Amino acid sequence: MEKDSYLEGIKSAWLGEQMGEAFFSGMAERTSDESLRSAWQTLARLEHVTGNRMAELLETYGEAPSGDGTYGVGEEILSQYLDTPHMESMARMKDVVEKAIVRFDQLLAVAPEADVPAVQFLVQHEEALLSFVEKEIAGDREHSLEAAEKLIG
């Protein structure tokens, strides 16, 4: 992977974190389930922290993350998740997260040594999301946020 492709991957990851934060925040605002509201808020914080790490990484390359900082997620996407049974939503989310892990592992494989901690965090945050989804599917809501909370600190 060339430097330009690597940087595009990091920019794409940064944008994905902005959209992820907006998605989870939107889910938290619209759900009537208090325990899920708290989970969505925690995941939004995880996306925020990860997005900041990607922004810092981009800045080391003289690249300012582009955008005005306000990213919305369409009402249709939120409704698809909120109007679908939780387990079906988790299965859909699992597929998305697994694909992201593959992409981010590819970035990690070519990351310059100085970038490894930030890109490793990017991978770990997706693994934390996968842990959340898998534990939710298994009915273990009590422990579903452990990996995310550990990364947030």
Cα atoms in the Cβ-side hemisphere of radius 13 Å centred on 47: 22
CB 40 within 8 A of CB 24: yes
Q: Write the single-letter amino acid at 63.
A: E
Domain boundaries 3-152, corresponding CATH code: 1.20.1260.10
Question: Which of these, 127, 141, 148, 125, lies nearest to 36 by C-alpha position?
Answer: 141
**Distance between CA 128 and CA 66 in Å, rounded?**
26
**Distance between CA 50 and CA 123 in Å, rounded?**
10
Residue ranges covered by each domain of the chain: 3-152
**Distance between CA 9 and CA 151 in Å, rounded?**
22
**Distance between CA 6 and CA 14 in Å, rounded?**
12
Could you read off the pLDDT tens digit of each residue along the chain, which spans 153 residues?
576 799 999 999 999 999 899 999 999 999 988 989 999 999 999 999 999 999 999 999 999 877 655 556 667 788 888 889 999 999 999 999 999 999 999 999 999 999 999 999 999 999 999 999 999 999 999 999 999 999 998
Tell me the C-alpha to C-alpha distance, in Å, between residue 114 and each of 1, 53, 69, 127: 17, 13, 26, 22
